Amino acid sequence: MKGFFGILNLNNGYFDNAATKYLNTKSLNHENTSFITDKILLENFTTPIFKNNKFPNLQFVGWCRLDNIDELQNQLPLSKNPKEEEVILTAYLKWGTDCVKHLIGDFSFAIWNEAKKELFLAKDQMGIRPLFYIEHDGLLYFSTSIPLIKSALLEKPKLNESYIAKELRNYPQEIEDTFFKNIKRLKPAHYISISTGKTIEEVRYWELGTVDLSHCKQKEDYYALLRTTLETAIKSRIRGKKNVGCQLSGGMDSSAIAVLLSRLMDKKNLHTYSFVLDETTKSYSDNGIDEQGTQEEIISYANLIRENHHHITSFYYKNVFEEFAKKNEVMGGYANSDCIWQDSLYKVAAAKNQIEVIFSGFPGDEGVSQNGNNYFYDYLNDFNIRGLFQFLIDFKHNALRKTLHYYRAKKAKTTALNYSEIQKKRNLLSPKSKFYNELKDSSFSFNPSFKSWQKQQICRAHTTLRTESEGAYANQYGIETAYPLADIRLLEIMYSLPADLFKPKPYSRALFRNICEGILPDKVRLQPKRSGAKTLAFADYWIYTKSEELKNYKIKNHTGLMLSEEEYQLKEAENEFMKTKRLNNLKEIDYLIDLNLPHNHKKE
């Protein structure tokens, strides 16, 4: 398990009680993994604190993978085969807090400068690696794990009722917010530099922007650049790894990654994993299909070892309450975009195959493999007459319809003109709650240009929240998660491309389909986006069995924020399946509130 924990004394008081409580809950060799002074406690999980004579006044803890060490060796005085700790500390000595502007990879770390009595916390650009903090009683607690912060606090943290209300209302969360009122998530591409007596302030150091692609003259030049960059992104994530896993859903994103992995490493050490239906779960699925056919196409095309392809047909939890307990243990409570559905896959990968890193095709749909339907936004926003003329030729009456929708959305400031009606059906928040009229829905805000829409999609909170959750579940088993389609080098190129490369003609997802020429067999590369199969093949079975197990669970509603079960049953829903799914969700939130309720909490 990787990660770290720390407590910083923000004033001249003592933090002995908090430090003692934390250390007493651990069974690690603190002499090797901890660093303690009167100002700070630092602990690296299972890994000795990094020590080097080059950095006598610096202490480092982190969970990092850097992908540009070779480039940094030309700029920094590094040893021959430096580890991430040496690279980051050397960069910190040269550039100070600006060191993060030079780092590429997935990272979350803390540096304690003993000479300056200053703490530096930083997180990677896309927020793949977690980092949380809370200021409480003159102390700053920080960690890659919310449960560890909870265990170290001298009392239970207060619940974040605004966060809970947004979940009940099905509104998007602010990226920094968590289930607990004062436990904050360090935002992606931000750092904190703090010393005694100073105010905690997050500083942004990176934002998705364009890069110079003037050397690309033809469409194929762009495709070749993207192929090379994707291959580099995958190579950097298997550096130093022997046993590698790849989720193989049957979609283009994971399929392309699996094929490229097969070309970049020993196939004997490559394992693929797929969620599929079996005889029990198939009867719960409306269409009874999964993507085993496409998975077989990839196995044959890439000449993968069939014994290394593993089907996941169920979860290992004996019941829904064991599942909820696992969520609380790993995520610390209720978490937006919780990925417990991946947990059983990671457990199999670790126990049976000793996997060290597992690849995912997320967030392809939000980035380089997006459908491209909004590509024409740039033509309207920039008054590009030539582009608009070609748009009309290519899509005829659909172009007129889409243009009308654009201007209606611009006036309404949302692309989802009828979404408010859908949200009414999804609303689980009690009308009596103080939040009922306060909360605002920003689910589908309007972005007038294609580029601004792209940035909103790829940099939205869901990217961080999902990767963070998947990483937390995998980390239990000593596995790292890898997202080559979230590599910022790939995203910056994508963000710099001419809009017409995304044009969904002759097919949607045109950019990625064209990149994958020579990577995927055409039967997969040109397949329709929607086959009716679900990423979690047995999702319907999961929902129905949870409903049965929760049938007798009585909602306690400690916060007073929820609809009662009786009120909920009177609500209109799209269909019975969605009604069942949302009632499950209502009971799950209630159960996790009950587990985490502070003793002094009073219903308002």
pLDDT tens digit string along 295-353? 999 999 999 999 999 999 999 999 999 999 999 999 999 999 999 999 999 999 999 99
Interaxial angle between packed helices 488-496 and 219-237, expressed in degrees from 0 to 180 and rounded to the nearest 10: 170
| Res 602: pLDDT | 47
Query: Is residue 185 over pLDDT 60?
Result: yes
- The CA distance from 229 to 141, in Å, is 38
- Phi and psi based region of residue 109 (left: phi greater than 0; alpha: psi -120 to 50; beta: remaining): beta
Encoded tokens for 439: 């909360």
- Phi and psi based region of residue 130 (left: phi greater than 0; alpha: psi -120 to 50; beta: remaining): beta
What top-level class would CATH report for the domain 4-204?
alpha beta
- Please report which confidence band the pLDDT of residue 414 belongs to, taking 50, 70 and 90 as the band edges: confident
Encoded tokens for 531: 């086959």
- The CA distance from 31 to 22, in Å, is 15
The conformation of residue 287, written as its DSSP 8-state character, comes to S
Question: Residue 143 forms beta bridges with which residues?
Answer: 5, 132
Within 10 A of 128 (CB to CB), how many other CB atoms are there? 25
Say what the pTM is.
0.95
| Res 98: pLDDT | 98
- Please report which confidence band the pLDDT of residue 33 belongs to, taking 50, 70 and 90 as the band edges: confident
What percent of the chain is predicted at pLDDT more than 90?
83
Contacts within 8 Å (CB) and 24+ apart, 506-510? 508/371, 508/372, 508/373, 509/252, 509/369, 509/370, 509/371, 509/372, 510/372
pLDDT tens-digit readout, 133-156: 999 988 999 999 999 999 999 889
Query: Is residue 493 over pLDDT 80?
Result: yes
Domain residue limits, the chain:
4-204, 219-370+461-537, 377-453, 542-596
pLDDT tens-digit readout, 460-489: 999 999 999 999 999 999 999 999 999 999
Closest C-alpha among 33, 72, 68 to residue 50: 33
Query: Is residue 20 over pLDDT 80?
Result: no
| Res 441: pLDDT | 86
What percent of the chain is predicted at pLDDT more than 70?
97
Q: Looking at domain 219-370+461-537, does it have CATH number 3.40.50.620?
A: yes
